[in-house]
Amino acid sequence: MAKSIFRAASRAELQQRLARLAPDRAPLWGKMSAPKMVVHLSDSLKMALGELSAAPKKTPLRLPVIKQLAIYLLPWPKGAPTAPELLVRAPAAWAGEMVTLSALVEKFATRSAGEQWPPHPAFGSMTGRAWGVLVYRHCHHQFTQFGI
């Protein structure tokens, strides 16, 4: 069974990894700084919660088979494209950004997977189950980028 932000053990794992992140930690690949990555993850969670809009993109990721493979099975490539809206905000104070991301992880998990969820800019219509797996995998990918 895929790890999901809706599972307490998966959330705890992500929270523990987040707690090990330092603002000066260098990425193993890519150009994002640790503070920028924290802001990026926070904004992606806000997008998933419907609190931040991102323009839809026409991509093959909207096709059901490709969407399922990308969300549940395929490894994430380094440098995978993201919505530009998730890269614009500059980080504020480190401690505050860390608290915000941690709180958004928990807030996400308070929603029911069975509720109506906003569409993803690249994947289109998404179930709560798919969002839960995607959010976990996105956090995992970014944390791995920083060796945590």
Average pLDDT of adjacent 10-residue blocks, the chain of 148 residues: 93 97 96 96 96 92 94 90 88 97 96 91 95 96 96
100: left (phi over 0), alpha (psi -120 to 50) or beta: alpha
Displacement of CA 96 from its chain's centroid (Å): 18
Tell me the CA distances in angstroms from 68 to 4, 126, 127, 135, one per residue in order: 15, 10, 11, 14
Task: Report whether 3 contacts 135 (CB < 8 A).
Answer: no
State the number of CA atoms in the 13 A half-sphere of 15 facing the CB.
16
